[in-house]
A and B are shown apart, each in its own frame.
Chain A
Amino acid sequence: MYNFEYRQAQSVADAAKAVGADEEAKLLAGGMTLIPTLKQRLAKPSDLIDLGGIAELKGIKREGNAVVIGAMTRHVEVATSDVVKGAIPALSHLAEGIGDPQVRNRGTIGGSIANNDPAADYPAAVLGLNATVITNKRRIAADDFFKAMFETALAADEIVTAVSFPVPEKAGYAKFPNPASRYAVVGVLVARTGGAVRVAVTGAGPVVFRQKEMEAALGKSWSADAIAGVKQSAGGLNSDIHASAEYRAHLVTVMAKRAVAAAG
């Protein structure tokens, strides 16, 4: 690790000011990706601004027909929250499958989506459930948030404060994990919310994406069989020693079917 300056932000405004004033500064949430990155000397921030002490960023609450999760809420809290389990069991199931218990005890939803790792689980939930990302500046629709591999719509001094998930009628998540890292090779979240169907795929491509053909098929008939014949194109998908693009494309259909089955 290269050396850096560290400080705990007292408020979101304080953090935004600090990170806005210095383009070499980085925000530290749960640190589950950032700290390993620093250990490998793949990043050299001048300052780390720790969001861990800001109480307003933590917590889960039901607001009307949405579940709002503070950015610094840990995966374990989403996985075990009665509010989430009651309203969006697919989301607690997804959170329960992120990393391992120790990662879930530190990692946060805000950190995960701001990082936008192509193999992370949460982007599938945000996109598939048509969530709204709330920042210190604005509300960003899921469709506008994830831009490219490790790139989001966030400005330099913009901080995710919460994510608001509309409560779906049905939702399910299924993933095929990388056998070594346990990140998603392919993860598919399917949801029907207010009559509209979304199918969000993580792991397969450089950034989470919607599988529109499956959405259309499920819109007509909500069943695993309805999408059995929908083939994901391998074009543009990721390829590595664990899974080629062709295999990932195949798994998109398999996982989508399983997600539908899980959604009931």
Chain B
Amino acid sequence: MATVTLTVNGKSVTATVEPRTLLVQLLREQLALTGTHVGCDTSQCGACVVHVNGDSVKSCTMLAVQANGAQVTTIEGLATGDKLHPMQEAFRENHGLQCGFCTPGMVMSAVDFAKHHKSPTEQQIREWLEGNICRCTGYHNIVKAIKAGTEAMGRTA
């Protein structure tokens, strides 16, 4: 067993894990942060995307022990109280989600995208989403949402 200490959504946490524990397992099973999902076992679907030290990563493809000392943000850490993050609000306003399962990873990936793009094209958004699979929306409204969310983040930044 190993002990890890990390900051999750602004709070310091310490946990004891097997070395084989994935970051997503630590989040879901030990920290009860079940917003981060697991949709595949080959690192492709992106339902598990969280931010580690500010970068979007797949928490199913990172060991919990590798996150020792890291700053982790999950979907639960995005809103401020009851006020949705601009990207969350854009997904709601543009109907960028249906079943909601891919949504946390999709939103976390989108927030990372927005940090690197100020006025994105549809093509840039579609290419960025290579690592996020949605089976419900056909991506149409996700693309719209990310465009709107990115622009809104640019306004508030």
Contact A100 B131 (CB under 8 A): yes
> Is A101 an interface residue, CB under 8 A from the partner?
yes
Q: Residue among B22, B46, B109, B130 with the most chain A CB within 10 A? A: B130
Q: Which residues of chain B in 41-79 are interfacial with respect to chain A, using CB atoms and an 8 Å cutoff?
A: 41-44, 46, 49, 55-58, 60-63, 65-66
- Given that A6-B2, A36-B43, A48-B19 are contacting pairs, would A101 and B109 also be in contact in the complex, using a CB cutoff of 8 Å? yes
| Complex: A40 Cα to B20 Cα, angstroms | 12
CB < 8 Å neighbour of A2 from B2, B20, B62, B112: B20
Q: Residue among A99, A106, A181 with the most chain B CB within 10 A? A: A106
Contact A52 B43 (CB under 8 A): no
Report A-chain residues with C-beta under 8 Å of the C-beta of B113: 101
Contact B55 A105 (CB under 8 A): yes
Contact B131 A106 (CB under 8 A): no
Report B-chain residues with C-beta under 8 Å of the C-beta of A35: 22, 43, 61-63
Contact B63 A101 (CB under 8 A): no
Report B-chain residues with C-beta under 8 Å of the C-beta of A48: 19, 63
What residue of chain B has the Cβ atom nearest to residue A80's Cβ? B116
> Is A4 an interface residue, CB under 8 A from the partner?
yes
Min CB–CB distance B58 → chain A (angstroms): 5
What residue of chain A has the Cβ atom nearest to residue B64's Cβ? A6
| Complex: A182 Cα to B43 Cα, angstroms | 12
Contact B130 A100 (CB under 8 A): yes
Report A-chain residues with C-beta under 8 Å of the C-beta of B49: 102
Report A-chain residues with C-beta under 8 Å of the C-beta of B62: 31, 35, 106
Size class of the A contact interface (CB-based, 8 Å): 20 to 34
Contact B20 A101 (CB under 8 A): no
Report A-chain residues with C-beta under 8 Å of the C-beta of B112: 101
Report B-chain residues with C-beta under 8 Å of the C-beta of A103: 43, 58, 131
Size class of the B contact interface (CB-based, 8 Å): 20 to 34
Report A-chain residues with C-beta under 8 Å of the C-beta of B128: 101
Report B-chain residues with C-beta under 8 Å of the C-beta of A106: 57-58, 61-62
Contact B130 A52 (CB under 8 A): no
> Is B122 an interface residue, CB under 8 A from the partner?
no
CB < 8 Å neighbour of B56 from A5, A36, A39, A102: A102
Q: Which residues of chain A in 66-107 are interfacial with respect to chain B, using CB atoms and an 8 Å cutoff?
A: 76, 99-103, 105-106
> Is B93 an interface residue, CB under 8 A from the partner?
no
What residue of chain A has the Cβ atom nearest to residue B130's Cβ? A100
What residue of chain B has the Cβ atom nearest to residue A177's Cβ? B130
> Is A1 an interface residue, CB under 8 A from the partner?
yes
CB < 8 Å neighbour of B130 from A1, A31, A36, A101: A101
Q: Which residues of chain B in 99-157 are interfacial with respect to chain A, using CB atoms and an 8 Å cutoff?
A: 109, 112-113, 128, 130-132
> Is A50 an interface residue, CB under 8 A from the partner?
yes
Can you list 16 A-B contacts with CB-CB less than 8 angstroms, sorted by A residue number?
Answer: A1-B20, A3-B18, A4-B19, A5-B19, A28-B66, A32-B43, A35-B43, A48-B63, A100-B130, A101-B130, A102-B46, A102-B109, A103-B58, A103-B131, A105-B56, A106-B62
A interface vs B, CB < 8 Å? 1-6, 28, 31-32, 35-36, 38-40, 48, 50, 52, 76, 99-103, 105-106, 181-182
B interface vs A, CB < 8 Å? 2, 18-20, 22, 41-44, 46, 49, 55-58, 60-63, 65-66, 109, 112-113, 128, 130-132
Query: 10 closest pairs, A vs B, by CB?
Result: A100-B131, A6-B19, A100-B130, A1-B20, A105-B55, A102-B58, A102-B131, A35-B61, A6-B65, A3-B20
